[in-house]
Amino acid sequence: MQTDASREDALAAWFTAVWRRDQDSLQRLASEAQVPADLFDWAGRQLCRPFFHRLGELLGAATSGPHGAREPRATCPACGGPPQMARLEREEGRRYLWCGLCDVQWAFKRVACPFCGNSRHDQLGYLAVEGNERDRIDVCEVCRGYLRTVVERGMQEGVQIDFLVEDVGTLHLCMVAEGRGYRPGAAGGDSEGAQARGSAQADPPH
């Protein structure tokens, strides 16, 4: 039978692996716990979320606002993770990225991939959904990452989007993107991303 201390250690190892997106550790911990790795990762993220939400709230003042981030950064200012969605704000079209773990938003450059940093125009694009001006899928041909983006220009004034709702509501866009060979939160220096960068060069744009 496990002691309280060893349970705490196991929990800490789990959370750390989830937070760092450490696939090797996740695989190992999942096989030790005899749980499928994807389910293990998913459950870990759910368990972490309340804590990261609180962290995001505490850091909110430092990260929100149009000029909260002086230097555009690709990763969540609270947890350091990749963005899960983005929005283009109504007035100036400034892009804000959103972290699904911490529920934090921060400003980032428009014409650059937040996952691999690629800023070449001819290697970036977006999938426009016919008959829908509001949602689009920003894609990078270098790392093959995609990011669901809500275009607020043209939306009814005063309407605030709720990313937690958008995340579920635009699930079909994930399927569209992944059906075309793009991956969520791709690249970023991990081995998977490096492979994608190597192979993406030959991929013709659509």
Partner 1 sequence: MKKLSRRGFLAVSGTTAAGGLLTHLGLDLSPSVAHAEALKTRYARESTTICPYCGVGCGLIVSTMNRNVINVEGDPDHPINQGALCCKGQSLYQVATSDRRLTKVLYRAPRSTEWEEVSWEWALGQIADRAKATRDATFTEKDAQGRTVNRTHGIASLGGAALDNEECYLYSKLMRALGLVYIEHQARI
Residues that bind partner 1 (CB under 8 A): 36, 38-39, 42, 45-46, 49, 72, 82, 84, 89, 91-95, 100-101, 109-111, 121-122, 124-131, 136-137, 164, 167-168, 171-176, 178-180, 183-185, 205-206
CB of 41 to partner 1, least distance (A): 8
Using the structure block, give the residue that is written with the tokens 């690629």: 118
Closer Cβ to partner 1, 59 or 129, answer by number: 129
Using the structure block, give the residue that is written with the tokens 């760092």: 20
Helix axes 23-33, 4-20, angle to 10 degrees: 140
- By the 10 Å C-beta count (0-12 exposed, 13-18 middle, 19+ buried), 125 is classed as middle
CB of 193 to partner 1, least distance (A): 14
Residue 88 host element (H or E): strand 85-88
CB of 175 to partner 1, least distance (A): 4
CB of 197 to partner 1, least distance (A): 18
**Strand, helix or coil at 46?**
helix
Closer Cβ to partner 1, 7 or 110, answer by number: 110
Instruction: Return the closest-CA partner of residue 114 out of 153, 150, 89, 145.
Output: 145
CB of 12 to partner 1, least distance (A): 20
Closer Cβ to partner 1, 122 or 157, answer by number: 122
Residues recorded for the chain: 206
Closer Cβ to partner 1, 7 or 120, answer by number: 120
Which amino acid appears at position 185 of this protein? G
Closer Cβ to partner 1, 58 or 164, answer by number: 164
